[in-house]
A and B are shown apart, each in its own frame.
Chain A
């Protein structure tokens, strides 16, 4: 079971995790990761843009790939768009499984893919000026370890 959303307003990880847990009474464990706007003394705001025809479908395909790779009861991918402040949650990934190792690995796999090849464009406001964020090599390195 997939729960895939692009959120234009607030992301409440606790509320989403509670609902996801309730939807999977059969699971032996849940692993969740919350990504936040990293506090940085120079970053005043962060804006994420997406392209609806590609971004949601890409997240659905990522969820399918995750479900195909591990025996999961469910996977949840919630991602913010719009303008956020340092400390705000941007992304929630949850995996529910009978056994913990599958849930840990699946959540990490989904998060590494969201970080590096999901269709999002990010810019930061520093000293009142917006700057586009370029892709990070580390994100691509994180992805490489999942190659078959």
Chain B
């Protein structure tokens, strides 16, 4: 088991994949360590939100994910 990171929109291009597995537990600083270069910078950006198991976090720096959890990185939506 691990934590699954899901990259949406242009973040998937930056990641070169739509998903990535990282060892849990995972907090905000651990997430940034797992995201090299421009991906980490994008994640820090105020417009990028995080969802933990389908619930958007009010404060992404409070991330606390465990093995089996899914963390989605959500850039601004472009609308339907």
Pick from B22-30, B31-39, B48-56 the stretch touching chain A.
B48-56
Query: A53 interface residue, CB < 8 Å from B?
Result: yes
A12 to B51, CA, bound (A): 32
B54–A133 touching, CB < 8 Å: no
Chain A interface residue count, CB cutoff 8 Å, equals 26
B interface, size bucket: 10 to 19
B51–A53 touching, CB < 8 Å: yes
Query: A90 interface residue, CB < 8 Å from B?
Result: yes
A114 to B9, CA, bound (A): 17
The verdict on A135 contacting B80 (CB below 8 Å), with A53-B53, A121-B8 known, is no
User: Which residue from chain B places its CB closest to the CB of A52 in the assembled complex?
Assistant: B54
Question: What is A's interface to B at a CB cutoff of 8 Å?
Answer: 35, 48-49, 51, 53-54, 57, 79, 90-91, 114-123, 132-136, 139
